[in-house]
Structure formats: C-alpha cells, structure tokens
Amino acid sequence: MTQSPAPSPVDGVEPAARASGLTKLYGAGEAAVRALDHVSVDFLRGEFTAVMGPSGSGKSTLMHCLAALDTVTEGDVVIGGTSLAGMSDKALTTLRRDQVGFVFQSFNLVPTLTARENILLPLAIAGREPDETWYDTVITAVGLADRLDHRPAELSGGQQQRVASARALVSRPSIVFADEPTGNLDSVASAEVLSFLRRSVDEFDQTVVMVTHDPLAAAYTDRVIFLADGRVVDELRHPTSDSVLARMAAIQSEAMSAPPAAPEG
Amino acid sequence: MLRVTWRNLFARKLRLLLSAFAIVLGVAFVAGSLVFTDTIDRAFDDIVSGSVSDVTVRFDGATTDENGGLIPDARSMPASLVDELAAQPGVARADGTVEGVGLFVIDSDGKLVGGQGAPTLAFNYNDAPSITGEPAVTVVEGEEPQGRDEVLLDERTAENAGYEVGDTVRMVTAGTVPELEAELVGIAEFGGGGLAGASLVLFDTPTAQQIFLGGSDVFDSIALTAEPGVSQDGLAASAEQVLPDGIEAATGDVVAAETEELVGTVLDFLNIFLLIFAAVALVVGTFLIINTFSILVAQRSRELALLRALGASRRQVTRSVLLEALVIGVVGSTLGLVLGFGLAIALRTLFGNFGLDLSGTPLVFQWTTGAIGYAVGIVVTLIAAYLPARRASRIAPVAAMRDDIALPESSLRRRMIVGVALTLLGAGMMAAGLVGEGNTGASMVGIGVLGVLLGVALMSPVLGRPVLQGLGAAYRAVFGTVGTLARENTLRNPRRTAATASALMIGLALVTTMSVLGASINKSIEVAVQEEFTTDYLVSSPTFQPFSTGIAERIRDIDGVGEVVQQQSLGSEIDGDGSFINAADGGAVAEVYDIPVVTGTLDVRRGGIAVSEQKADSLGVAVGDTVTLTFPAGDQEAEVQGVYEQSNILNDALVPLSTLAAAQIPRQDSVVSVNAAEGTSPDELGTALDDVVADLPIVTVQNQEDFTEAQRASVNTLLYLIYALLGLAIVIAVLGIVNTLALSVIERTREVGLLRAVGLSRRQLRRMVRLEAIAIAVLGAVLGIVMGLVFGVVLQQALADQGITDLAVPIWQLVLFVVVAAVVGVLAAVLPARRAAKLDVLRAITTE
C-alpha cells in the first residue's frame, strides 16, 4: 500500500487545514535545525488523521505550526479557508479561539475551574453563548454528565482528557489538534478518549488531527501520515496497528541504513 | 549542598533583590535612626563640653520641669560673691554669668530667627575657659561688645538673619522691655564647634544685667576655673566654704551629666519614634520574605525532592534554604546600612529645616549601629525563612517522581486557633496598657497592637474569604470569564493571598488608626475651642516661649480694647505630682472665659489655688485643703479655693499672679486674651492688634477661626509626617504584591500557556493578573481599615480624658484609602502582567 508522499487534495473539497511548502528552521546559520522541510499536506473535513514519526521527526512542530501556536519560516498554513501568513498575534489568538480546538498530552485544564467551566472556557473567553443542543450532544458523548461540577484534581487522567476533548469540540472548530492525548493514560482510559475522538468524527462530522507514536492509537484513525527528518515520507489509509507498526519499522530501518531520503517532488 | 544553594541564588537574582528590598528598607530605617541620634548626641556632647566650666556655682533646686522645659527663676547672686570665690584657694578665676531667657533675634526681614527649633542663648560675654581649657566663646571677627548698644552674634545666626558687622540688630526679649536694638560689633565662635542650630547672642556684663536682671550688679550663676593641678572636686570643695545656703557648687562633670541626661531623654523619644517605623517596616518585610520563600520552595519542590531522593537529609534541605535566607539577610543588611547612612543625611536636612542644624557635626557611625543593623536584618530574614524551610524538608523523596506535587501545609484550623489566641492576647495587652501609665503602658499598647495585627494576619485566610468572594462576584458580573479566573486565582491559595494582603493590611491599619485619631483630635480641638474660646482675640507665641509683659501693656493702650487678661503658664509640681499650671488674675479669667466651676471660685486670692476636677480627684483634695507647689526657689503652700471642670485654657491649676512673685519667678506672659470694648467691632480691633504686633514677630494674634486652623495645621503636620513614615511599610507591601504575582505567574506558566492556546488574548490575560492584584490590595485595605477603625476608636475612648473627647471617623479618607489600594494593585500588576503576556504560548505549554 505504498503511496506517494504529499497527497494532493480531493478535487472540489476544501480541506479543513492545509500546509503548503511548510518549512520551519530553529536557530540560524550553521547551527540551524530544519525541523520541517517543505511539508505540504491537506487535512480533509470529517477525517481523523494521525501524524506519526520517530522522535525529532518534526511531528509536534508540524502540529504547532498548523494550530497557529508557532510561526513558520517559509510556506503557508490555511485553516478553515483563512491563510495564517502575516496574521497578527491578536488575529491568531482569535483564530485559535474560534477555529481550532486543542487537546494536549497533559495539563489540559485550568485547575481552578470545574469541568463544565473548562469545557465552556473558549466560548466564555470569546463572550459567546454555547449552542445548547451541541453542548448537550458533546456532554452526552463524552459521558461525564455527573462529573461536570468537579475540579480537574478530582477527575481521573482519562476523565481529564475527555473533558479536554469536549472543550476542544464545544466551539465547533474547523479542526481539532490533539498532541499525544493518550500519552499519560493507561489502556482503558486511552480507549475511552480515542473512542470519543472517533465518535466526534463519525457522528458529529468533526476533523481531528492527532500526533502520536502509539500504533494502537493510530489504529483508531482514517489515515496516518509518517514524518521523518522534517519531511512527509509516507501515508497510510485505514490503518491497523500491525500495518502501522510495519510501516514504522520500515521507515526506521531506512533511516538507519541510508542517508536522508531524496527531496520529494 | 552548598553549591546547589549558590546556584539557586544566582539563578534568581531578581527575586533575591525583591525579597532583600524589604530587609534593606527595614535595616536602613534602623541604621538611619541610630546614626542620626548618635550624631545629635555627639553634637550636644561637644556643646556641653565646650561650654561647661570646671565648677558652676548655682542655686540648687530643679530648674527644669519633668518635660525638660525651663522654669524661669528670678533668683540672683550678688557680684560680691564672685570676688569672694575668686579669692578662694585653687580658684584661677571666677566669672559671673548672666543667662538671658526669651530673647530672640529678628532678621533683616522682620522675622524671628530660630524660634520653634533650637533655642537662642543670650549671655554676658567673657573669655572664661570651659572644661576643655579653651574659652567657651572667642571673637573671630570685629571686637568684644562694650556698652548698651553693642552685641555679638554667632556666624550662622548673623548669616541667616542677614546681618553684617556694623549693622543694627533687632531683638525681642521676654523682659519688661519687649524690643531692643544694638550694633553688631563682632562675630563670636563657640568653642565646642557647632551649636546644633542654636543662636548665640552676647552682650557685655552690665548690658546683660540691664536686660535680664533688672540692672543690679548680680548674676544667675558663677563659672569657676581651677588653678593647674586642682581637681573639679577640690575646686568645688574650696568654693563651698564661702557659699551661702541655697547655692551649690556643681562640678563640670555633674553639670555635663545632667545636661546629657536631659538631651538623652529627648533623643530616646526621637529614637523610639523612628525605630517604631523601622519595626513596622520589618514586620511587613517579614511577610514578604515568608511569602517569597514559601513560593520558591513550592516551585522547587520537585528539585528538593530530587535532592532528598539522592540522599540529602531533611536537615540538609532545611539548611540549604536557610542558607539562601542568610545570604539575602547579609546582602539586604549591607545595602540597608548604606541606605541608612543616606537616610541619616536626609533626616539631618529635614531636622535642619526645623531648626536643628547639625551641619557642624560629621555623621557618627558607631560599630554598634553596624552590628545592630546586621543582627536585625539577618535574624528577621532567618525567622521569616524558617517555616518555609522546614516545610521544604517535609517533601517526600518520592515526590521527585510524581507529576503534581502538593506541599504539606499546616491546617487552617490550627492557624485559626493560634490567630485567635494571639489576637485575644494582643487585645488584652492593649487593654492593660491603656489602663496602665507612662512608658510601660505605651509599650504594652504597642506590643498588644502588634499581637492583634499578627493574630489577624494569621486568621486572614479565613477572614478574607468573604471579602474575596464578594469581590469575586463583582468581578464575575463585570468581567465575565476573566473575572472568574482572577477570582479563582485569589482563592486558589488562600494563605498566599492573605499573607500578601497582610503586609498591606498592617500598613493601612496603622494609617487608619492615625487618621481616625487625627480626625478625632481635630474635632476635639474644634469642640473645645468653640466651647472655651470665648474672647475675641488671643495673643500667643508660635514658639511657645513666654514673651514680655510689655506687649500686653501696649495692647491696653489701643483704642477700643476691652478686657485684657494676661496668663503665664509653667510646669510645677502640686503635692509632688507634675502639673501644668497657669498664673492669672482669676477674676478676669472667670469674666472672659466660660469655665464651669464645680465648687468654690476661680477668683483665687493671694496664697490660693484653683484646680481642675481631674487634678483634684487624682490628688484627693477639695476646697479648703492645702497643697504644696514646688518651684526652683522653694516650695509654696496654697489653699484650694476652687475646683473647675477640665479646661484647655487653665490646664491643671490656676494661681494668682502674686504666687509667682513669692516664688521668685520672673513675670512673663504666655497668653494674652483680648476683647473688644463696646462699640468697637472685633474686626476693627483685629486690625489695630495686627498693627501693634507687626513689629513683634514673637507673638501672633488669632481669633477663634485662626486658632482652630493653627491647631489643626500642627496636628496635620504631625499626621502627614507619620503617614510619610508609614508609607515605607506600604511600599514594602506593594513590593510584596509584585513579588507574589510575579512568582505566581512563573508558577502558572503552563496554565497561562493553556489559556492563551485556547484563545485568551494578551489583553485579557493582563486584565486577569491586574484583577488578581486589585483583589489582593483591596483585601489588605479592607482588613486594615476595619482593624484601624477598631484601634482608632479604642484609643480615642481610652484617651478621652486626655483631651480627645470627640470621635471623628474620616469616612471619605477611608474610602480614598481603598481606592488608592486598588490603584496600588493596578500598579503592582504592571510588571507581572506584562511578563505573563509576553510568555511565548508554545514554550509556556511545553514548559516543565
């Protein structure tokens, strides 16, 4: 199931997020590190995508750039039809608030606020009223209706991540980014969180991009993008944990045996 | 371990400086006070040793009242005694001294030189040496004064007054002739160096006798100089042989010791006054340090746990934290000592403006000042750091491996119990102190206040909750989510919020106490003046020095003047009890003033006395009893002829003017009250009075309004001085808020990052920090004002019989304090808020 890197968008469908020619340099001159090297990738609406790759492959950097958390050296990011190039910090803040949802590996919630307040935080910051039906739908789906008045410290790790996921979805963002959302969780809690993200794509037509290095987590997604040395090196549709594992092993050995792959076309 | 400590210190230079700043200010105040008072002490030592002769022949009996005020004494010794003493064996020379009291130089603009500050010393000029062997006074320019129309001044006085040799100097005296003019024939230099702002006026002996002693050839005292090889004691013994009863020979050492004791009393008072503010600054600083260390320890808990896991003992962890504190203490104390020196210079300038000119004396920096400064700074820092350090050692080693670490904290309940106990203890001390007398009472009140302040500070996490919740509700309503976040931040760590607010609370509690007391004093004055100030005009001296009775004589000559009542006030003892008495024509007093008489009459006859009700009670005397009055020249018996209600005009007692004559006290006026005659309007009289006193800057003419205003102004001046000194504590408290917020922001870096990531704008973030700061500041202000109100009311009640009869609460001023506190909060938040807003979102989220 070998595909060419840098998949092209499906004709006529506007992607939820698009990176084109994305390059990110850290440092300057001789010491510069090329974290991303002309990455172009589309994330389609209603799709659950995993970004995988060895440590240092640039997967987190890619996500941060896509999510308007980090600036790019070259290239452009488009989210929900808006180009991020040249946007002010204020505009980026507004875009994050209204168009992007986040789930981080840990420390996702404001400890002083209850679960409900945390879920409603982006809306409250924007001064918007939640869409009642949508809110109820998300709350029901996340399965924490009876824990909403608890503070993060009173919730389990899995519950906290589900609250974070609910928060990411409640403002109906164009796209949700999850950075190793199950990195700190046991298998049962991981399954809960991943099932919730899966449902949000299947039932609520959301778009989710998840960085992970766990093949089991990747198996929940529709599509896996593999990064190595700041480039997209492979892509896998309808992954299973075995196929992901095999592909990763292949990339790993390729990297060990040969110098970095030739630049993509 | 030592290396870890050093690394920590250098990694946190800014934080170190902020915490040290509290110590710097506290130590600076301690050192500044000590340096300043030591300098005054040195200046007066020089004056004393430069002016005291080997032996002084003087009348025995106290010449000062218990407050150090000079009691005028009209006794004199004949010139023949000088000759007799000069002939005694061992006496090298004997010089009669005339000491003039109540003389002032008027400068070329017609204003009084000196006045409220250092005194004017008028003497007969001679070249008698002091115990240093040098003449007490030397003429450095021009020549010695000779005759009625010649005078010498010291250089500084001549310069300040704008006189040069050859000019005509104008002077006012308290003697029968109110005014005097003489040519400045020379400039005198005082042997002891500087004069601490005092003015020196020298006449030749006959002129001095003419002005101060009614013209007879007599002296106030006689200075003896010993022949070589004769000791002071030997000289005194030799002199005693020819001295009549009532006159003693005091050695130079004795006189010097007496003077130094007197100066010491005043200096002690000044020292204590200044050190109280140093103590306030240090107590407030302690909160700042406790808080800083608590937060630092909390932030470093994982690191400390790692140290424990690597095998560091509890003691080593505690010690490493205490070592940090020690370094802060040493650095802070050193800077504080340097700043204290600057503060002493500032104090010298400040007091110079009030007439205490010390420019002739270099600042005295004794090693004890350094030792005390370091001891205070280091001990306070160590005490403040001890609790956080001990808590640090309780961190379990396993915490190093855990993600979220909660430091073990003592329960709020135990804190409450200790707080309540301290508050009650403090309140008890205050109550006991208020009932008690004198210095012990005052220091008990002080300790009690400190106890209550600390007790309430301990309870403040609980007491402050309703305030914070009330504010939080308002925040939520006005600022929505940002308000909620700010509210939750203030409630998240009640100890930290409360400790930060406590520093401000203490400062504001004291400011409020003073403002309530000040307002009450002003109101009491106003009420008393309205009740008692029943005459049209009051002539008095702004220097509180008695003035010549000649002024009253001139006033009587004005057309349209009605009653004129002359009063002379002086300190004395009634049956051994220190009292402030007034001598006046009692009948006239009763006529112009509306003073309710309890029993007997105010119109006391020769040998009689009327006393205030309070004094009568404390002495246990009633009309018909006989009391003993103590004067320098001897005791006088007096029959109690009347008891009157407490009065600011008559103070403790009223005696007829004839008593003064009997006690050989020179007749001078302290207050003259003047009424307009029928047919003359008070305004017309006022204009006429102003004309008469225009040439006599020693007195002012005031009607009821002027008088109240003048009293109020002097109360307010003192109040503003105290506010300024307490401002120091407020500055430290503000630094505390800055420090806490800055550390909180660092501590919550990830949270800030998260909030920014989910869409909180920089502006909203800054507002959140600002609201948190305002909440802390307002909490401190509200708690402080409530406490200050309680203190103020209690003190007013306790001092009601001391003249603070009416309570006044300056509500708008208190409201202003809260508003100012909120503004202070906004200012304190500027840097931490900017810092929070500057955090890079990505880095904040990924930070450890």
The predicted-structure confidence for B740-780, as pLDDT tens digits, reads as follows 888 788 778 888 888 888 888 888 889 999 999 999 999 99
**Distance in angstroms (rounded) separating the CA atoms of residues B609 and B624:** 10
B4-8, B138-142, B326-330, B684-688: which has the minimum mean pLDDT? Answer: B4-8
Instruction: Write out the two tokens for B19.
Output: 């915490």
Give the pLDDT of residue A223.
Answer: 92
DSSP state of B248: E
Q: How far is B305 from chain A (nearest CA, A)?
A: 21
Question: Can you give the residue range of the structural domain that contains A214?
Answer: 44-71+85-257
Other Cβ atoms within 10 Å of B679 Cβ, number = 8
A69-78, B63-72, B78-87, B464-473: which has the minimum mean pLDDT? Answer: B63-72
Give the pLDDT of residue B11.
Answer: 63
Residue of B101, B107, B104, B190 lying closest to B154 (CA atoms): B190
Cβ atoms of residues B757 and A84 within 8 Å: no
Of B482, B754, B759, which is closest to A110 when you measure between CB atoms? Answer: B754
The confidence band for A146, taking pLDDT boundaries of 50, 70 and 90, is confident
Q: What three-state secondary structure class fits A109?
A: coil
Contact B480 A127 (CB under 8 A): yes
B190-194, B715-719, B835-839: which has the minimum mean pLDDT? Answer: B190-194
User: How many percent of chain A have pLDDT more than 90?
Assistant: 8
Give the pLDDT of residue B297.
Answer: 76
Q: What is the mean pLDDT of chain B?
A: 83
The confidence band for B10, taking pLDDT boundaries of 50, 70 and 90, is low
Contact A110 B485 (CB under 8 A): yes
Give the pLDDT of residue B5.
Answer: 65
Chain B (469-498) residues lying within 8 Å, Cβ to Cβ, of chain A: 480-482, 484-485, 488-489, 491-492
Q: What is the largest CA-CA distance in chain A?
A: 56
pLDDT digits (tens, 9 = 90+) for A189-202: 889 889 989 988 88
Of A64, A90, A110, which is closest to B751 when you measure between CB atoms? Answer: A110
Query: Which of A62, A69, A184 should one mutate to test binding to chain B, selecting the residue with the greatest count of B CBs within 10 A?
Result: A69
Contact B489 A107 (CB under 8 A): no
Residues of B in contact with A109 (CB under 8 A): 754
Residue B383 reports pLDDT greater than 90: no
pLDDT digits (tens, 9 = 90+) for B348-382: 887 777 667 777 678 888 888 889 889 988 988 88
| Chain B residue at shortest CA distance from A114 | B488
**Distance in angstroms (rounded) separating the CA atoms of residues B530 and A213:** 89
Of B481, B485, B754, which is closest to A108 when you measure between CB atoms? Answer: B754
- B273's enclosing H/E stretch is helix B252-299
Of A106, A122, A124, which is closest to B480 when you measure between CB atoms? Answer: A124
Contact A113 B761 (CB under 8 A): no
Q: How far is B14 from chain A (nearest CA, A)?
A: 28
Of A104, A111, A121, which is closest to B481 when you measure between CB atoms? Answer: A121
Q: Within an 8 Å CB–CB cutoff, is residue A25 touching chain B?
A: no
Question: What does the pLDDT average to over B389-404?
Answer: 68
Instruction: Write out the two tokens for B633.
Output: 């020249």
Q: Within an 8 Å CB–CB cutoff, is residue B747 touching chain A?
A: no
Residue B512 reports pLDDT greater than 90: yes
Helical pair A132-142 and A115-126, crossing angle rounded to 10 deg? 150
Contact A112 B489 (CB under 8 A): yes
Of A64, A89, A107, which is closest to B754 when you measure between CB atoms? Answer: A107
Residues of A in contact with B492 (CB under 8 A): 111-112
Give the pLDDT of residue B787.
Answer: 92
pLDDT digits (tens, 9 = 90+) for A218-244: 999 999 999 888 888 888 888 888 888
| Chain B residue at shortest CA distance from A169 | B758
Phi, psi of A95 (to 5 degrees): -65, -45
**Distance in angstroms (rounded) separating the CA atoms of residues A212 and A219:** 11
Instruction: Write out the two tokens for A206.
Output: 């959301």
Q: How far is A58 from chain B (nearest CA, A)?
A: 15
Q: Within an 8 Å CB–CB cutoff, is residue B126 touching chain A?
A: no
Residues of A in contact with B772 (CB under 8 A): none
DSSP state of B632: T
The confidence band for B14, taking pLDDT boundaries of 50, 70 and 90, is low
Give the pLDDT of residue B256.
Answer: 86
Give the pLDDT of residue B191.
Answer: 73
Give the pLDDT of residue B524.
Answer: 87
The confidence band for B291, taking pLDDT boundaries of 50, 70 and 90, is confident
Of B488, B756, B841, which is closest to A113 when you measure between CB atoms? Answer: B488
Give the pLDDT of residue B785.
Answer: 93
| Residue A184 or residue B176, greater confidence | A184
Residues of B in contact with A66 (CB under 8 A): none
Give the pLDDT of residue B193.
Answer: 67
The confidence band for A145, taking pLDDT boundaries of 50, 70 and 90, is confident
Give the pLDDT of residue A221.
Answer: 92
Domains: count for chain A: 1
The confidence band for B406, taking pLDDT boundaries of 50, 70 and 90, is low
Residue B270 reports pLDDT greater than 50: yes
pLDDT digits (tens, 9 = 90+) for A116-139: 888 888 888 888 888 888 888 888
User: How many percent of chain A have pLDDT more than 70?
Assistant: 91
| Chain B residue at shortest CA distance from A102 | B758
Q: How far is B404 from chain A (nearest CA, A)?
A: 10
Give the pLDDT of residue B63.
Answer: 57
The confidence band for B812, taking pLDDT boundaries of 50, 70 and 90, is very high
Q: Is residue A265 part of a domain?
A: no
Question: What does the pLDDT average to over B793-817?
Answer: 85
Q: How far is A192 from chain B (nearest CA, A)?
A: 22
Q: How far is B764 from chain A (nearest CA, A)?
A: 8
| Residue B803 or residue B709, greater confidence | B709
**Distance in angstroms (rounded) separating the CA atoms of residues B41 and B267:** 8
Give the pLDDT of residue A209.
Answer: 93
Residue B62 reports pLDDT greater than 70: no
Instruction: Write out the two tokens for A167.
Output: 């928060």
Of A69, A126, A127, which is closest to B757 when you measure between CB atoms? Answer: A69
The confidence band for B798, taking pLDDT boundaries of 50, 70 and 90, is confident
User: How many percent of chain B have pLDDT more than 90?
Assistant: 7
- What CATH number is attached to the domain comprising A153? 3.40.50.300
Give the pLDDT of residue B783.
Answer: 92
Chain B (578-617) residues lying within 8 Å, Cβ to Cβ, of chain A: none
CA quadruple B154, B156, B159, B162: dihedral positive or negative? negative
Instruction: Write out the two tokens for B780.
Output: 């401190």
Of A107, A122, A153, which is closest to B759 when you measure between CB atoms? Answer: A122
Q: Using CB atoms within 10 Å of the CB of residue B3, give its burial: 0 to 12 exposed, 13 to 18 middle, 19+ buried.
A: exposed
Please report, for residues A17, A46, A50, B696, B789, the alpha-carbon distance to residue A205 in angstroms, rounded to integers and kept in the order given: 15, 5, 17, 98, 64
**Distance in angstroms (rounded) separating the CA atoms of residues B144 and B164:** 15
**Distance in angstroms (rounded) separating the CA atoms of residues B108 and B197:** 18
Question: What does the pLDDT average to over B517-540?
Answer: 86
Give the pLDDT of residue B516.
Answer: 92
Chain B (628-687) residues lying within 8 Å, Cβ to Cβ, of chain A: none
Give the pLDDT of residue B115.
Answer: 59
Exposed e or buried b for every residue in A244-255, given b needs 16+ CB within 10 A? beebbeebeeeb
| Chain B residue at shortest CA distance from A105 | B846
Residue B405 reports pLDDT greater than 60: no
Residue B848 reports pLDDT greater than 60: no
Of B491, B758, B762, which is closest to A89 when you measure between CB atoms? Answer: B762
Q: Within an 8 Å CB–CB cutoff, is residue B405 touching chain A?
A: no
pLDDT digits (tens, 9 = 90+) for B449-495: 888 988 988 888 888 888 888 888 888 888 888 888 888 888 887 88
Question: What does the pLDDT average to over B119-140?
Answer: 83
What's the half-sphere exposure (Cβ side, CA atoms, 13 Å) at B364? 18
Q: How far is B321 from chain A (nearest CA, A)?
A: 28
Q: Within an 8 Å CB–CB cutoff, is residue B739 touching chain A?
A: no
**Distance in angstroms (rounded) separating the CA atoms of residues B180 and B150:** 11
Give the pLDDT of residue B408.
Answer: 52
Please report, for residues B126, B192, B790, the alpha-carbon distance to residue B360 in angstroms, rounded to integers and kept in the order given: 23, 10, 46
Phi, psi of B12 (to 5 degrees): -130, 50
The number of C-beta contacts closer than 8 angstroms across A and B is: 71
Of A69, A112, A153, which is closest to B842 when you measure between CB atoms? Answer: A69
Give the pLDDT of residue B195.
Answer: 74
Residues of B in contact with A127 (CB under 8 A): 480
Q: Within an 8 Å CB–CB cutoff, is residue B847 touching chain A?
A: no
Give the pLDDT of residue B333.
Answer: 92
Residues of A in contact with B847 (CB under 8 A): none
Give the pLDDT of residue B400.
Answer: 57
Q: Is residue A130 part of a domain?
A: yes
Domain definitions of chain B by residue range: 54-262, 461-534+704-848, 537-702
Residues of B in contact with A121 (CB under 8 A): 481, 755, 758
Q: Is residue A13 part of a domain?
A: no
Q: Within an 8 Å CB–CB cutoff, is residue B760 touching chain A?
A: yes
Contact A98 B759 (CB under 8 A): yes
A197-201, B258-262, B420-424, B437-441: which has the minimum mean pLDDT? Answer: B437-441
Q: Is residue A240 part of a domain?
A: yes
Residue B659 reports pLDDT greater than 80: yes
User: How many percent of chain B have pLDDT more than 70?
Assistant: 92
Of A93, A106, A117, which is closest to B759 when you measure between CB atoms? Answer: A93
Contact B481 A125 (CB under 8 A): yes
Q: Is residue A4 part of a domain?
A: no
